[in-house]
Chains A and B, each alone.
Chain A
Amino acid sequence: MKIFKTTYSYLIVATLMIFVTGCDDYLDINENPNNPTDAPLAGLMTNSTYETAQNTYRLGSSTSYYVQFLASPNPASSSDVMDEVSFDNTWSNLYNVMTDLNDLILKAEETEANHYEGAGKILMAVNLATAVDAFGDVPFSESFNFETITPAYDEDSQLYDRVFQFLDEGIAALSQDTDLPIGNDDFIYGGNADNWIKFAHMLKARYLNHLSKTGAYSPTEVLAALDSGFEGNGDDAQVEYFDEAYNPWYIVADNNENLVLGGWISEQFVEATDGTTFGVEDPRLPFMIGTTDDGEYIGVPNGAGRGSASEQGERSTLVTDGFYSSQRAPVLIATYAEQKFIEAEAAFSVDKTRSYNAYLEGISAHMRKLGVEESDIQAYLSNPEVSMGEENFTIEDIFKEKWITMFLHPEAWVDARRFDYAYENFDLPANLNPNLNEQFIRRLRYPDSELSRNGNNVPDVTLLDRIFWDE
C-alpha cells in the first residue's frame, strides 16, 4: 500500500512538472494574427496621403455651408445655421493621420529615409494647420507618443511656429539624396521630391498669409516663399480617386441623385457666379455644379430649405460628372491657382501690378484646371467686372475670385474669416443659431469626445471666439 502511495505521489509530481513547463508554450498564442506590430513606411505614406485628401473633404463638407457654397435642402439644418455641432469624426481623423505621420517621421528618421521624413513633415504641417485653423488651440506637444492620456492644449500661435518648422525641416530633408525614394505609395506626387519641395513652399506662403490680420504679417515673406512654390497647375497637390474608393463628393452627388439629399448649391454661390450679383456669368459654373431640369442654375437660401421645390430637378446640386464630384475626380489639397491669389493678396500693398497680374492668372489657372475653353476664359477675363484694371482693383476682388476658386475647400472658410465674411450680398443664414447673436461662426466647437475624455484641458470657448490670426 505504501508503495502505491509513493508511486502515486511521483506520478502526480511528474504530471505537474510536465504540465507547468508545457503550459507556457501552450499559452503563448497571444500575438495578434490580425494586426502587425510594425508598419512599412510605404503603407503609412499611402494612408497619410489618402487621409490628408479625405480630411480636406471632411472639413470642407461642413465649412462649405458656412461659406455658402452649399446649402441644405431642409430648413434649419445644423451646418447651415452654424449650430454647435460635435465634430468628433473630423477631429479624430485629423489626429489619426497626424499619429500615423508621427510614426512615419520617427521611423524615417531612424532608417534615414529622408524623403519619407520630409514628405511626412510636410503632411504633418498641412494637417496640424488645418486643425488649428478650425479649432484654435489643440493638443500637439504631448500628443501621439502616449506620454499622457490627457494631452495639454498648445496655444494656436505657437502651433503655427511648429507648422513653419515642419515645412522647413521637410524642405531640408527632401533636398538631400536618398537611398529610399518614395514611389507609388505617395498618392500626391508619386515620390517626386521637387514637387514636394514646391508644395512645402506654397504651404509656407499659405500659412504666412493667414497672418494677414496680425502684426506678424509680412507680405514680403509670403512672396519670398511662393517664389519657390508651384509653377503651374501641373504642380498641384491633389489626390485622384480610385476605382476602389470613389471621390467623396461623388458619393454625395450620387446619393443625392438617389434622393439621399445632399450637395445642394447655395443661392449665394449661384447668384455670385450666374451674373445676378456681379453682372457677369462665370464660364466655370457648368464644370462645377448641375442645373435644374430646365437648364437653369438655381440655389437654395442657407438655413431656409428648398421651400416648395421637389427633391430632384428643381435646384442646382453637385452632379456626378462635375469637375469636383465625378467618380475619380481629384480632391485638391493645394493648387497653383490658390497660390496666385495668395500672391495677389500679399503683393497688393507692395506691388499692385504683380498683385493684379497674379489675380488674373489665378482666375485663368483655375479655369484651365477645370477645362474651360480658352475663348471663354478670355471672354470672362476681358469683362470689366473682372478685369477692372489695376486702378480700380481692390482687395475685395481678390477675395471674391479666390472664394470661387476655393470651391468646397476648407481654406475658403479661413479666407471668409480673414475677410470678415464681407463678400458682396453675403447674408446670414435663415434660422441662424440664436447663440451667435446675429454673427457668423468663427471656429468649430471642440468635439464631445474631447470634452468627455480630456475635459480639463479643453479651452472654454464659444463659436464666436476667434483663432489667433482672426483677432
Chain B
Amino acid sequence: MRNKLTLLAFLAIFQISSIFAQERTVSGTVTIASDGMPLPGVNVLVKGTNQGTVTDMDGEYSIDVAPDAVLVFSSLGFEGQEIAVNNQTTINVQMVEDLESLDEVVVTSFGIEREKKALGYAVQEIQAEEITRTKQPNIVSALQGQSAGVQITNSGGAPGQSARIIIRGINSLDPTADNQPLFVIDGVPMDNSTTESSGTPRGLSNRAADINPNDIESMNVLKGAAATALYGVRAANGAVIITTKKGKEGDVKINLTSSIGFEEVNQYPETQSVYGQGFGGEYDPNSFWPNWGPSMDEIRQIDPDAQFYNIWEDAMQTGVQYDNSFNISGGNQKANFYASISNLDQEGILPFSTWGRTSARLNGELMFSDKFKVAGNMNYVISGGNRVPHDRFMERMIYNTQNADITDYINEDGTMKSRGGNTNPIYDARFSTFEDEVNRITGNLRFTYSPFEWMDVNYLIGTDYFSDFRTEITPGPMGIEGEVPLSSTGFITETRIDSRDINSNLFVTLKKDWSDRLNTTLRVGNDVFERDYERVDATGSDFVIPQFYDLSYTRQLSNDQDKRKRRLVGLYGDLMVDYDEMLFLNITARNDWTSTLPQGNNSFFYPSVNLGFVFTEALEIPDYLSFGKIRASYAEVGKDTDPYRIGQTYNAPGDPLNGEVRFSRDSQFGDLALKPERTRSVELGADLRFLENRLGLDFTWYKSNSKDQIIPVPVSATSGFSTFITNAGEIENSGVEFILTANPVRTDDFRWDVTFNAAYNQNEVISIREGIEQIQIGSQFGYVGSTVYTFLTEGEAYGNLYGSSYARYGADEDATHLDSDLPIIIGEDGFPERNTDLLILGNSTPKWIGGLRNNFTYKGFDLSFLIDFRTGVDQYSQYDNFFSAFGIPEYTLDRNDTKVFEGVLTDGTPNTQEVWLGQGVGPDDRNYGAGFYRNTYRRVSENFVHDASFIKLRNITLGYNFQENILNSIGLFESARISVAANNIILYTPWDGYDPESFSAGAGGNATGYTGLGYPGVQSLFFTLNLGL
C-alpha cells in the first residue's frame, strides 16, 4: 500500500511539472494479450520526452498528457506499442509477449542490468530453460555449444567430474594458472576451483558443480576484457554471470521437477580379440602379458576351456542418475522470496563411482521504503561421492588378461582374484575408496539506498565458505594365506580443506540527464576480496587391525599442512554516456592492489573504453534491416598470481626421523621483482537484425595480447631449483565469432528457432624471456622415448604437442614441424628409424568451435537439439600408447606378418628388406626380440598424436506441455511437462578410442592435449517430469 502511495506521490510531481501544457489525464489498464492478466511495471512514456509513469499492481496507470501526444508502452519481454492519445481519456492496452526481445536486457558486472544495445562488447545470455534442458548436473557442462567463443571440455565421464571452460583461448601460459573465467552468482564472485586428488587422478569436481542448475534464471558469459574491467584481476579471463531465480509478485508458485537418467560408454577403442595371454607367442596363463600370447585357436588346443572376454565392455556398467527438485516462490509489493531444495544422485559407468548433491536455497528481497531495499541469497550445499581412480583402473585394465572374466574379481573370503600378478581394477575400485564431502554455504546481502532519484548507493557483501572433507583408504593385507592385497601396508589419508572467500563491494551510482538526448551514469566503487584457505592432510599407513581404518591404529603417520591467504583491493570508476539511444560510450578505470606480488609492483591500473553505435537510429536504412549496431572496444586488464610465490624458501620434505626434522631447499624460486601480467584487447563487432528481428547476425573480431606472463618456468634441477617463477613472454589470441539467429517459422501453433554460433581462435607465443628459448609446460608419459611434451616456443602456437617421430628422408634439419609427407627412413635392420628430436606433431587447442541449436514448438510439443563441434585439434592418446605396448589394438593383428616397410634407406633408395613383426625368432630364423610393436611402434610419439576433432549431438530433447484444457480437467496443476532427452548419442570423430573429450588432469590444469587414461565419455538418456502448482 505504501508503495502505491509513493507511486502516487511521484505521479503528483509529474503532474505538477506538466501543469503548464493544458494537459488532460489519460488512464487505463495494461493487460497481457495471451491471458488478459494485468501487467504491472509497464513503462508508459510520452514519446519524445522523458515524462512517463509505470503501471501499478493491477496494471493500471494514469498520466497527464497533451491531447496530441503519443504514448509509448514498453515492458521487458513484451513487444512495445505506440498509441496516439487523440483526445481519448481511457486507453487500455494489450501487450504481446515477445520472445525475441528477451535478450534485450542483460545482466553485466555487479548484477547490473543493462540494455544489450547499449553495450560496446559482445555478450550472449543463456536462459534457464536452455540450461536445464541439457540435463547436465554441472552448470559448466550445460554451457557446452551454447555460447560463441566459449570452449567447454568435460574432463571425462565420471559422476561429478570437472568440466573446464575457456573463453577466447588461453591467456596465461603458466600451466598451473587458472585460465577459466570468474564465476559470479547474484553479483558476488564464487569459487570454481578444482582440487584433484594428489595421487592418481580420480576425477573430482569443479566447485561450480555445487550449483543446482534448476535455481538459475539466466547465465551470461562476458567475454572480452572490456566486459570484465569492473571485476578486475579475477575476471581477467572473462566472467560467467549467474542470476538465480527470484519470487515474483502474485500467488505462491510451486514447481516440482523429477528426472531419471541412464548412461553408457559412447565409444570404445577398436581392440583385437584374437591373441591371448603370454609373451613371444607362447601361452602362459600366469603371464604378466595379457595379449602377446598365441591366437585363441592355438590356446584352445592347450586349454580347451580357454575363453576370450571383452573386458573393456564387461568392466563397465550402466550409470544411473536421479534428480529431484522442488521450489516455491512468491511475493508481494514489498517482499518476495524463492526457496528450493534439490537432490541429485548419480552412479557412473565405472563400478563404484558415485556423486551426489543436495542443495537448499533461499532468495529474498525486502523493500523497507522506496529508498531502501535489502536483498539476500543463501545457498547450502552438500556434495561429493566415491571417486574411482579411473586412470589406475584403466591402466590395470590394460595389464589384465582377457582370458579371464574381469568381473569375477573377488574370492569368497573377500580377497582379490588376481591374474598374472595384476591387480583387478574392479576390486581396486571397490576397496580403494576416496570419498569427498563438501559442505558449502554461499550467501550474500545487497543493500540499496537511493537517497535521491539520481543517486543509488549499493553495498554487496558475500561469502563463499566450504569445507571439503576427503577420506582415502587403501586396505592392507587381510591376513589370509595366499591373498593378493592392494597394498602391502594399506593406508588412510584424511584431508580437510577449508576455504572462505569474502567479497565486499561498495558502489555509488550517479545518474544525470543532461538533456532529452544525453544521459550519463557514473559509478564509482571499491571492492575487497579475501580468500582464506587451509588444507591439512594426515596419512596413516600400516593398519594394526586389518580392515579397521582409523588414523590412530596405524604404524606410520605423516602430516602436511598448507595455509594460504590472498587479498585484493580495487577502486574503480565506470562512466556511461548515452546519446539519443543511438550512441553509447562507456569508459572504465580501475586500480587493483594485490597481496601476492611484491610491494612496489602490486598496484596496477587499467582502463577500458567501448563505443556502441545503433546506426539504424541515425540513418535512413531499408526496412528489412530492423536493427543495426556496430561496436568497438579497447580494454586492459591486469592479473596477479598465487600467494607465496616470491623468493626462496625451505621445506620439510618428509616426516621427522628419530625426532629430527629434515630441511631442504624448496624447488621453487620466485622472481623478487615479479610484476602483474597485462592483457590488452581490442574488439570490433556488429549486431544486425533483419526482417522484424526474425534473422539476426552478430559478428565479433578480437585480438588480445597478454604480456609479462607469470610463468613457473621448469628449469634444470642442476640450477638449484626446478621451477623459476618469473615474468616471461607474451601470447596473442585473435579470432572471430559469429552468432546467427533465425526464426524461420512463426505461426500461432508452430515455431522454429535456430541459433548457430561458431568461433575461430588463433594464438601465437609472441615472445619468451630473453635467454629462454623454450618452456616446457606439460608432458605425459609414453613408453621408451614416446613421451609427449607441450612447449612454448617463440613464434609458435600455444598447445603444440612435441614428441619423437619416424625419421624422414629429406627432412630439413632445422625443421620444427614433422613433415609426414616425406618418406620414412628404414634402418639397416629393416625397421623404420626413430627421430628422437622433439618435433611438433600437432596442436591441442581447437581452431574452430561452435554449436547449432534448433528449437521447434508445435502446440504443446517442443523439440530441440544441440550439436556442437570442434576442429583443428590434436591430442596425445596415452591409451593408444599403452595399448600398442600390450598388443591390444585391432591394428596389432598383423603382429605375425612379414612385410616390407614402405620407405627409403638412408641413401634414398626404396627399402626392399622383408622383416617379421612378431616376437622372438621369426620364420627367417632371425631373432626379433620383443617384436615390432614393442621395439619400434610404441617408442614413436607420432603414432599416438591423433586428430581429436568431433561433431556431437550434444543434446536432443522432446517435450510435451500439457495444454490448459487437460490441466483444467485434472485441476491439480497449473502446468505440467514431460520430456525425454538424450545426450551425446551421436559422436562423429576420426579419433580411435574413447570419446576424445577427455583429459585426466581435470579442469584445474591446462594440459588438455593429454587424454591420459581418462574416465571414458558417456552417452545418456533422461526422462523428466515437471509440475507446477
- Segment among A96-104, A384-392, A417-425 that sits at the interface with chain B: A96-104
Cα distance, A8 to B377, chains bound together (Å):
32
Q: Is the CB of A46 within 8 A of B485?
A: no
What chain A residues lie within 8 Å of B279 (beta carbons)? 75, 305
Could you tell me how many residues of chain A have their Cβ less than 8 Å away from some Cβ of chain B?
82
Q: Are B718 and A454 in contact (CB under 8 A)?
A: yes
Given the known interface contacts A43-B662, A184-B658, A259-B418, the answer about A30 and B643 at a Cβ–Cβ threshold of 8 Å is yes
A176 interfacial contact with B, CB 8 Å:
no
Chain A: CB-nearest residue to B773: A456
State which of A137-145, A214-222, A273-281, A364-372 sits at the interface with chain B.
A137-145
User: Taking the complex as formed, is B17 at the interface, i.e. its CB lies under 8 A from any CB of chain A?
Assistant: no
With A76-B934, A245-B655: A40-B663 Cβ-Cβ less than 8 Å: yes
Interface 0/1 of A206-230, CB less than 8 Å to B: 0000000000000000000000000
Decide yes or no: A449 and B717 within 8 Å by CB, A42-B660, A46-B657 being known contacts. Answer: yes
A96 to B664, Cβ gap below 8 A? Answer: yes
Give bound CA distance, A258 to B474, whole Å. 14
Chain A residue, CB-CB nearest to B567: A27
Residue pair B484, A259 in contact (C-beta under 8 Å): yes
* B286 (CB) vs chain A CBs: closest residue: A310
Contact of A83 among B280, B655, B716, B784 (CB under 8 A): B784
Tell me the chain B residues, 645-675 only, with Cβ under 8 Å from chain A.
646-667, 669
- CA gap between A92 and B667 in the complex, in Å: 10
Chain A stretch 248-279: residues in CB contact (< 8 A) with chain B: 251, 254-255, 257-261
> Which A118-177 residues sit within 8 Å CB-CB of chain B?
138-140, 143-146, 148-151
Are A100 and B286 interface neighbours, CB within 8 A? no
B88 close to chain A: CB less than 8 A: no
Residue B910 lies at the interface, judged by CB distance under 8 Å to chain A = no
Residues of B within 8 A of A27 (CB): 567, 569, 593-595, 599, 602
Pick from B288, B487, B719, B791 the residue with the most CB of A within 10 Å: B719
- Contact mask B443-465 → A, CB, 8 Å, 1/0? 00000000000000000000000
Stretch at the interface among B364-372, B558-566, B944-952: B558-566
Residues of chain B with a CB closer than 8 A to A85's CB: 784
Q: How far is the CA of A453 from the CA of B717 in the complex (A)?
A: 9
- Tell me the complex Cα distance, A258–B476, Å: 10
List chain A residues, Cβ under 8 A from B218.
none
Q: Are A103 and B716 in contact (CB under 8 A)?
A: no
Interface membership of B869, Cβ < 8 A: no
A19 to B571, CA, bound (A): 10
CA distance A50 to B657 in the complex (A): 9
| Complex interface: chain B residues within 8 A of A254 (CB) | 488-489
Check B716–A150 contact: CB distance below 8 A: yes
B663 near A44 with CB under 8 A, answer yes
Q: Given that A47-B663, A146-B720, A255-B488 are contacting pairs, would A452 and B776 also be in contact in the complex, using a CB cutoff of 8 Å?
A: yes
Stretch from A31-39, A193-201, A343-351, A397-405 that touches the partner = A31-39
Are B663 and A29 closer than 8 Å at their CB atoms?
no
Residues of A contacting B991 in the complex (Cβ-Cβ under 8 angstroms)? none
CA–CA, A50 and B663, complex, Å: 11
- Docked-complex contact B569 and A43, CB < 8 angstroms: no
Q: What A residues does B660 contact at CB under 8 A?
A: 42-43, 46, 184-185, 187
Q: Tell whether B405 is near chain A: CB-to-CB under 8 Å.
A: no
Which residues in A have their C-beta under 8 angstroms from that of B666? 35
Given contacts A38-B650, A149-B772, contact A46 B569 (CB under 8 A): no
Query: What is the number of residues of chain B that contact chain A, defined by CB distance less than 8 Å?
Result: 86
From B651, B661, B724, A46 is in contact (CB under 8 Å) with: B661
**Residue interface bits B470-491, CB-to-A below 8 A is 1, else 0:** 0000000100000011011100
Least CB separation from B569: chain A residue: A23
The residue of chain B having its C-beta at the shortest distance from the C-beta of A15 within the complex is B526
Closest to A258 in B: B488
* Bound CA span A184–B658, Å: 9
A24 located at the interface, meaning its Cβ lies under 8 Å from any Cβ of chain B in the complex: yes
Q: Does A244 contact B (CB under 8 A)?
A: yes
Chain B residues with CB below 8 A from A33, complex form:
563, 565, 644
B484 touches A243 (CB 8 A): no
Q: Check A450 for interface membership: any CB of B closer than 8 A.
A: yes
Q: Tell whether, in the assembled complex, residue A39 and residue B650 are in contact, meaning their CB atoms are under 8 Å apart.
A: yes
Residues of A within 8 A of B626 (CB): none
Q: Is B789 an interface residue (CB 8 A)?
A: yes
Restricting to B872-931, which residues have a CB under 8 Å from any CB of A?
A: 929-930
A interface: dominant SS? loop
| CB <8 Å contact, B718 and A138 | yes
Which residues of B544-569 have CB atoms within 8 Å of chain A's CB atoms? 555-556, 558, 561-563, 565, 567, 569
Q: Which residues of A contact B321 (CB under 8 A)?
A: none
Within 8 A of A (CB), among B594-619: 594-599, 602
What chain B residues lie within 8 Å of A293 (beta carbons)?
Answer: none
Identify which of A29, A40, A73 gathers the most chain B CB atoms within 10 Å of its CB: A29
B657:A35 contact, CB within 8 angstroms: no
Cα A146 to Cα B726 with chains together (Å): 13
Q: What are the residues of chain B within 8 A of A140 when measuring CB–CB?
A: 718
In the complex, whether A84 has a CB less than 8 A from a CB of chain B is yes
Most buried by B among A33, A86, A149, A308: A149
Within A409-434, which residues are at the interface with B (CB < 8 Å)?
431, 434
CB distance from B715 to the nearest CB of A (A): 4
Partner of A103, one of B561, B653, B665, B787: B665
Contact A47 B649 (CB under 8 A): no
Least CB separation from A143: chain B residue:
B718
**Complex Cα spacing A187 to B657, Å:** 9
Q: How far is the CA of A208 from the CA of B95 in the complex (A)?
A: 99
Q: Is the CB–CB distance between B567 and A26 below 8 Å?
A: yes
A35 touches B649 (CB 8 A): yes
B488 x A50 contact (CB < 8 A): no
Q: Give the CA-CA distance A184 to B751 in the complex, in Å.
A: 83
B714 an interface residue at 8 Å Cβ cutoff? Answer: yes
Q: Are A35 and B569 in contact (CB under 8 A)?
A: no
Contacts A92-B717, A257-B488, A450-B716 given; indicate if A30 touches B663 (C-beta within 8 A).
no
B239 at the interface (CB under 8 A from A): no
Q: Does B257 contact A (CB under 8 A)?
A: no
B563 and A34 form a contact (CB under 8 A)? yes
Whole-angstrom CA separation of A394 from B652 in the bound complex: 50
B 295-306 binary contact with A (CB < 8 Å = 1; else 0): 000000000000
Q: Of all chain B residues, which has the CB nearest A450?
A: B716
State in angstroms the CA–CA spacing of A146 and B934 once bound together.
41
Q: Is A469 an interface residue (CB 8 A)?
A: no
A86 cross-chain contacts in B, Cβ below 8 A: 787
Which residue of B has the minimal Cβ distance to A24?
Answer: B599
Q: How far is the CA of A209 from the CA of B807 in the complex (A)?
A: 43
Chain A residue at smallest Cβ distance from B654: A245
A291 interface residue per 8 A CB criterion? no
CA A26 – CA B654 in complex, angstroms?
A: 33
Interface: A192 (CB within 8 A): no
Contact call A311/B286, Cβ cutoff below 8 A: yes
B residues apposed to A, CB below 8 Å? 279-280, 284, 286, 288-289, 418, 421, 477, 484-485, 487-489, 526, 555-556, 558, 561-563, 565, 567, 569, 571, 593-599, 602, 643-644, 646-667, 669, 713-722, 724, 771-774, 776, 779, 784-785, 787, 789, 791, 829, 838, 929-930, 934-935
Given contacts A27-B594, A50-B657, 6 further A-B contacts (CB under 8 A): A39-B664, A143-B718, A144-B719, A146-B719, A255-B488, A448-B779
Chosen A-B contacts, 25 in total, with CB atoms closer than 8 Å, are A26-B595, A27-B569, A29-B565, A29-B595, A30-B596, A32-B644, A35-B649, A37-B648, A38-B650, A39-B664, A42-B660, A46-B660, A50-B657, A95-B720, A146-B719, A150-B716, A150-B719, A244-B656, A244-B658, A254-B489, A258-B477, A259-B485, A434-B829, A452-B776, A454-B718
Interface residues of chain A, those whose CB is within 8 Å of chain B, are: 19, 23-24, 26-40, 42-44, 46-47, 50-51, 73-76, 78, 83-86, 91-92, 95-96, 99-100, 102-103, 138-140, 143-146, 148-151, 184-185, 187, 242-245, 251, 254-255, 257-261, 305, 308, 310-311, 431, 434, 448-450, 452-456
- Complex A-B, nearest 6 residue pairs according to Cβ-Cβ distance, in ascending order: A43-B663, A35-B649, A39-B663, A47-B662, A139-B718, A258-B488
